Structures are given as structure tokens and as C-alpha cells.
Amino acid sequence: MAAELSALNGLDFLSSADLNGAQTQALLTLAADIKAGRRNPRLDGKVLGLIFSKASTRTRVSFTVAMARLGGQTIDLNPSVSQVGRGEPIKDTARVLSRYLNAVAIRTFAQSDLQAYADAASIPIINALTDLEHPCQALADYLTMQEAFGSLEGLTMTYVGDGNNVAHSLLIAGALLGVNVRIGCPAGFYPLEKVVAQAKAIAAGRSEIVISEDPAEAVRGAHAVYTDVWASMGQEEEQSTRVQAFRGFCVDESLMRHADAKAIVLHCLPAHRGEEISAAVMESSASRIFDQAENRLHAQQALLATLLGAEG
Ligand code: CP
Ligand code: NVA
């Protein structure tokens, strides 16, 4: 294990900011090595718990398959079939699970609930999406961009749409990796100011962090154009007002004309064709969306191997 990564053994991954730049880059290298079959870390006999309070296809399945490939296994602790859903205190659940499991991946609403698990647990807690961040997604996203261009040095990632959890982790992880990150979003849907300030502080002089209300300006010359749903899980009742607010922010062929000629298109999925992305762009040769979904698996294998101190 690279020296940068061995320091992460036993730690939590609650935010993209829990890693430094060298660690983030080393994780991407390990993920690429695992994907190519150059590395085969082992977690035989280790068990990961999954507590998901929101729906998931990619995150749940990729964590389950990642543990299987590493020689370990997962237990699905869906709140509806465990005492979590009946209100058992987080601090009790976290301490009990620490006696059985080697790590827990949690998808929930409040980042403070995730933090409460981490505070009480003695095993690594992993953010599998909260309303604030989606750091596992950002690892797969930058792995996909690195694959497409060979290196991330000097590249620009533009995210068009809602300044949400996905945008927050892209900002922080991009800053850590030296990537210019631009967010194109309408007024009222900016990423949180504290996250933008955090990303700017990390980027400090190495790359640019820019927020723009002009999607064409944000996309100009970008190497990756990324979008996500306009209404995230928990915001379903705002769907129709958001469709109005985000008019002009669809990643379609006319917006893509402003990007670099070799630009790739990314989306964390699930996608709403005809809203945040056109069907034509989604199915275009620029799309790396399904490579990106696959890369969740490789990035999370690297993450689990690192946090759980895998051999090999
Ligand atoms: N991108 C992502 O996290 O997908 P799921 O909600 O299906 O896990
Ligand atoms: N922003 C979306 C991401 C889903 C993977 C949500 O939180 O619903």
C-alpha cells in the first residue's frame, strides 16, 4: 500500500475533504490498478454493513460487489428491517455494529447523523450520500476523467445544474486534484457558500473554482461536462418549480458546442432525459456515463482496501 494510503487505515470517509490531494490521487491510482488487474488487495473475512435510508442502485450494488471481489461480504441493514427504522439511538447502533462489522457505509439525509455514527463507532464510517456530499461518487467521476485524458493536470470540470451534494463533492475533490471546477447554476441554486470557500482554500493558486449563472460561459472550453437531477431525493415536491427554475440549464447538443472538442459528458445517474440532459447527449460518443457508473466499483474497492488495511 502506498505510504499516502496507509495513513488512512481505520479512518472514516465522511467528506471528500477527509483526504488530502496526494491521498485522493493515490486512491485513483489504486482504483486504476485494481481495474486493470495490476493489484488484487484482499479483505478476506471482513464485513461491511450498509445502512441506506434512501433508494440506491449503483451505490448499494457497487459496494456489495466491491466487498465480494475483495473476499469479504456485506450485510444490508435497511432501516425498515432493523431497529434503525424504529428509532434506536445512532450512538447505540454505532457501538453495537462496531462489535460485529469492520466498516459501515451509510446513505442518509443529514450529514450530522452520519457524523453521529462516526463519533460513536470504532470502525470506519463511509458516506454513501448525504444531503451535503457524495464523496464516493466524486472518486469515480475523477477516475473516469483521468481515464479519458490520461492525467487530470490542467483540466476543467464543469458541473451544470443544482448546487447539490454531487456538486459539493466535485468541488472539493476537484480542488484536491488540481482540477479547475466550474459550476453553472441558476440564482437560488448555488452550492453552499461554505463548500465553495472550502474548495477555493484547497485550490489556492493551483486551480480555479468558479460559479456562474451562465451555463454557456461555465461550459466554455471544459473537458468534462457533468450534470445531475434538478430535484434530489427528498425534494420531490419541488420538482415542478425546479423544472421552471432550471430552464436553459439542460446539457444538450447546443450547450455542448461550447465545450472543448474532446470533452466528455458525465452524469452520476439516475438521469431524467429531457430535463437536466438530452437523450442525444446521453447517448452520444462523448458520453462516459456508463464507464463512470462502472468506476464506482473500482473506486470503492480501492477505498475499502485502504480504510480496512487490505493485504496485497
Ligand atoms: N449515483 C448514485 O449514487 O446512484 P444510486 O442512487 O443508484 O446509488
Ligand atoms: N443529487 C442526487 C444524487 C443521486 C445519486 C440525490 O441526492 O438524489
**Which residue out of 136, 232, 239, 296 has the highest number of ligand 2 atoms within 8 Å of its CB and is therefore the one to mutate?**
232
State in Å: Cα 204 to ligand 1 middle: 31
User: Is the separation of the CB atoms in 144 and 295 below 8 Å?
Assistant: yes
User: Is the separation of the CB atoms in 158 and 218 below 8 Å?
Assistant: yes
State in Å: Cα 230 to ligand 2 middle: 9
List the residue whose alpha carbon is closest to atom 7 of ligand 1: 57
Give Cα 305 to chain centroid, integer Å: 17
Ligand 1 in contact with 57 (CB < 6 A)?
yes
Ligand 2 in contact with 198 (CB < 6 A)?
no
Which residues form the catalytic set?
107, 134, 137, 228, 268, 296
* Virtual torsion, Cα 158, 163, 142, 268, nearest 10 deg: -110
Spell out the per-residue pLDDT of the chain, length 312, in tens: 788 899 999 999 999 999 999 999 999 999 999 999 999 999 999 999 999 999 999 999 999 999 999 999 999 998 988 999 999 999 999 999 999 999 999 999 999 999 999 999 999 999 999 999 999 999 999 999 999 999 999 999 999 999 999 999 999 999 999 999 999 999 999 999 999 999 999 999 899 999 999 999 999 999 999 999 999 999 999 999 999 999 999 999 999 999 999 999 999 999 999 999 999 999 999 999 999 999 999 999 999 999 999 976
Ligand 2 in contact with 141 (CB < 6 A)?
no
Question: In what helix (H) or strand (E) does residue 156 lie, and over which residues does it extend?
Answer: strand 156-160
Q: In what order do the strands lie in the sheet with 180-184?
A: 209-212, 180-184, 156-160, 224-227, 264-267
Ligand of minimum distance to the alpha carbon of 299: 1
Please count the CA atoms within 13 angstroms of the CA of 98 that sit on its side-chain side.
17
- For ligand 1, what atom is nearest to the CA of residue 57? 7
Ligand 2 in contact with 164 (CB < 6 A)?
yes
